Amino acid sequence: MKETLKKLLEATLERLQSSSDLTAVDKFKFEILDRKDSEYAKISMQMRDLSKEERPEMGKYLNEIKQQLETGFSVRINELKHARLSILETVEHEDMTFPVASAPTGHIHPITQAYFEIVEIFGEMGFSFAEGPEVEWFWYAFESLNMPISHPASDDFETYYVKHPEHDEHGRMVLRPHTSPVQIRSMQNQKPPIRVVVPGKTYRPNYDVSHTPMFHQFEGLLVDKNVSIGTLVGTLDYFVKKFFGSDQKVRIRPYHFQFTEPSFEVDISCSICGGEGCRLCKEGWLELGGCGMVHPVVLENGGVDSSVYNGFAFGWGIERCVNIRSGIPDIRMIYEGELRLLEQF
């Protein structure tokens, strides 16, 4: 994999030096880096095939190659722009095809920025990226996660249902209310050890200061032999310190979730008052989300032998993480298109 990345870098830089057309270079950059199925992305997907010992080193090498590719493109694009300006200065006519000064362009939305950052942080710990369908079967969304048909979360007031020609009493479809169904799909599609992070859109019919009908979650799942609560806490502590700051503290409180046993709520120390207590946190702590050790029933539903393997899982809102880190009081503000807010990111 390292050799493939090295060859991609060398071939790209060589082609860049021979490219003299700005439009062609932009298109080339899209093919190599920016497209969802770019050459770099295809190689990155091979991370899932590596052992857990190889992943941290390879993740670091992947980032180094990406930085070198981005630098190469940036340098060449600037060279071509300066060369074009130099030519224009020597002629006595205006080039009507040359782009004129325009209003400042936009940038990646703060939620998308956080999405990429979260995947990168967990990639440093050997977690692979995984995704699943947003329109999901009821079994994957609830029953496979040890949540019975009668569970309150499956009520019409809590979940969006989707009409489907194959509907029957046990084959309903929903807009997934959480990213947790990908836990089952990941266990069905690969053998332990499993270590995946699952960011994506989720849907619930709620709208207030802390909820929107569409929001983003990121799910984490680790399945292996002899996984402990200490492993879970260490993983979450690493993420919190990388995402929120090295001075942040983590605590877990006993809770109840159908799909984990034991279950916990995760809190982080308030970054505004430093844990002293303020109007935002009240007692010095802010609730981040839920986690716990994967319930044996969930492991079995994913095709994993619970007598041999165990694991942990967690699921948090990306919007909530952004709000806590940035001090945004209302989740709806992120989607209102207010430039005075978005420009700060």
**Residue 27 in tokens:** 């298109």
Cβ contact 114:322 at 8 Å: yes
Closest among 239, 198, 244, 222 to 292, alpha carbons compared: 222
**Residue 232 in tokens:** 């879970």
* Cα gap 200→143, rounded to integer Å: 20
Q: Please, which residues have CB within 8 angstroms of residue 76's CB and are 6 or more apart in sequence?
A: 16, 17, 19, 25
SS3 label, residue 175 = strand
* Cα gap 261→271, rounded to integer Å: 30
pLDDT of residue 88: 59
pLDDT of residue 95: 61
* Cα gap 188→199, rounded to integer Å: 18
- State yes or no: cis peptide before 262, omega within 30 of 0: yes
pLDDT of residue 254: 94
**Residue 290 in tokens:** 């839920």
* Cα gap 280→262, rounded to integer Å: 29
pLDDT of residue 175: 93
* Cα gap 322→341, rounded to integer Å: 12
Closest among 328, 321, 190 to 268, alpha carbons compared: 321
pLDDT per position in the chain (345 positions), as tens?
777 777 777 877 788 788 878 888 888 888 877 777 777 777 777 777 777 777 778 778 778 878 888 888 888 888 888 877 776 556 555 666 767 677 677 788 888 999 999 999 999 999 999 999 999 999 999 999 999 887 788 787 788 888 766 655 556 899 999 999 999 999 999 999 999 999 999 999 888 777 788 999 999 999 999 999 999 999 999 999 999 888 888 899 999 999 999 999 999 887 766 667 776 667 788 888 899 999 999 999 999 999 999 999 999 999 988 888 887 777 788 877 777 777 777
Q: What single-letter DSSP state applies at residue 208?
A: B
**10 Å Cβ neighbour count for 245?**
12
Question: pTM of this prediction?
Answer: 0.65
* E strands present in 61-134: 128-129
pLDDT of residue 156: 74
